[in-house]
Amino acid sequence: MNLLKPQVNPPLWLLAELTYRCPLQCPYCSNPLDFARQGKELTTEQWIDVFKQARAMGAVQLGFSGGEPLVRKDLPELIRAARDLGFYTNLITSGIGLTEKKIDAFAEAGLDHIQISFQASDETLNAALAGSQKAFQTKLAMAKAVKAHGYPMVLNFVLHRHNIDQTDRIIDLSIELEADDVELATCQFYGWAQLNREGLLPTRDQIARAEAVVQRYREAMTTSGNLANLLFVTPDYYEERPKGCMGGWGAIFLSVTPEGMALPCHSARQLPIAFPSVLEHSLQEIWYESFGFNKYRGFDWMPEPCRSCDEKDRDFGGCRCQAWMLTGNADNTDPVCGKSPHHGKILAAREQANCTNIQINQLQFRNRVNSQLIFKG
């Protein structure tokens, strides 16, 4: 057994999940299923203290996300504090609640980058997924305003079996809105997406068609000189090797939940591990010494087939959260891996995607399930 402790570098990327509150209801939301029962949100001062500690440790990038981070009234103050500390700041938003005035305030506070998510390329499908009739028009207006303020803009579309066949129209819309980067990110199955997986996982044929469309647009854009950057992320359910989730457990990424729980990835709170709170421990202690952050660092924790695999320093045995969700044991090899004894679960999900006929209105929507709890606290 290798008894050398893995070298631990400081976190580079801090994700501040400011709130789980959100006016939309997306059935693939990555928030925990019981998000509405979580504790009180950190105060402005508590968040700024977290930023200071993370920056002092060496973190350089700070993402504001949620839920919908715009529901936090102190967002300009948080952005300003982060920028004054020297972070590169990124706002990850649905655009709902954004106004020209807020964009001005964020620009004045020094915000570097805005990412707006869309549910679809047309109003009807967008409304069916987001649960808001006004959302699409608001997003369009805000995407235009973001560009008018000179921000580099990322448009993010979560793709699944109900919208992936619109990939051409989604790209057309992104070009029209002058997006600098377009993320066509096929659903990753965590939180509400895992709950709705059967109704969301595209078929392999759908993915192949979408990939061909993206390739066609990339070639046309190269010819025309219109250089919007198209990123197409396929679901790992159609891979034979797992993703190197988070660049490795506790390697570069640190997430803090609305009530202050520190996590090595945004989905880890579901694991049977007592993750530490920033209200009780310094980030330094949490990152370097806590049980949770050390649990899956290095290679010694790995079972076979990962332990003797020559790809383990690339994929780290895959995603711990996925191993937990699909096998009930987070120590196991991610079932996405073709070498995993649990790979049959992935094959069965692919098979199911070919037969299922679940419609959008049969999905479980986060705010409908948690409606009575959403805006408390």
Residues that bind ligand FES in the complex, under the rule CB under 6 A: 190, 245-246, 265, 267-268, 319-321
Would you say 41 or 236 has its CB closer to ligand FES? 236
C-alpha–C-alpha distance, residues 42 and 47, integer Å = 6
Would you say 55 or 295 has its CB closer to ligand FES? 295
Whose tokens are 């993206």? That residue is 214
C-alpha–C-alpha distance, residues 374 and 39, integer Å = 12
The answer to whether residues 334 and 340 touch, using CB atoms and an 8 Å cutoff, is yes
What is the smallest separation between the CB atom of 361 and ligand FES, expressed in angstroms? 28
What is the smallest separation between the CB atom of 273 and ligand FES, expressed in angstroms? 11
Would you say 135 or 321 has its CB closer to ligand FES? 321
CA dihedral 296, 301, 304, 309 (to 10 degrees): 60
What is the smallest separation between the CB atom of 114 and ligand FES, expressed in angstroms? 24
Would you say 157 or 253 has its CB closer to ligand FES? 253
Would you say 245 or 256 has its CB closer to ligand FES? 245
Which residues sit opposite 182 in a β-bridge? 155, 230
Whose tokens are 């066509």? That residue is 184
Would you say 54 or 265 has its CB closer to ligand FES? 265
The answer to whether residues 2 and 242 touch, using CB atoms and an 8 Å cutoff, is no
Would you say 127 or 233 has its CB closer to ligand FES? 233
What is the smallest separation between the CB atom of 154 and ligand FES, expressed in angstroms? 21
C-alpha–C-alpha distance, residues 132 and 144, integer Å = 20
What is the smallest separation between the CB atom of 319 and ligand FES, expressed in angstroms? 3
Would you say 143 or 254 has its CB closer to ligand FES? 254
C-alpha–C-alpha distance, residues 37 and 341, integer Å = 36
What is the smallest separation between the CB atom of 263 and ligand FES, expressed in angstroms? 8
Would you say 174 or 322 has its CB closer to ligand FES? 322
What is the smallest separation between the CB atom of 265 and ligand FES, expressed in angstroms? 3
Neighbouring residues of 329: CB distance < 8 A, sequence distance ≥ 6: 323
The candidate with the shortest Cα–Cα distance to 41, out of 83, 84, 73, is 73
The answer to whether residues 185 and 28 touch, using CB atoms and an 8 Å cutoff, is no
Would you say 103 or 265 has its CB closer to ligand FES? 265
What is the smallest separation between the CB atom of 138 and ligand FES, expressed in angstroms? 30
The candidate with the shortest Cα–Cα distance to 6, out of 302, 282, 323, 263, is 302
What is the smallest separation between the CB atom of 333 and ligand FES, expressed in angstroms? 13
What is the smallest separation between the CB atom of 291 and ligand FES, expressed in angstroms? 16
Tell me the C-alpha to C-alpha distance, in Å, between residue 349 and each of 135, 181, 201, 234, 282: 32, 31, 8, 15, 41
95: tokens are 């655009």
303-309 contacts at long range (C-beta below 8 A, 24 or more positions apart) = 303/331, 303/332, 303/333, 305/333, 305/337, 305/339, 305/340, 306/333, 309/339
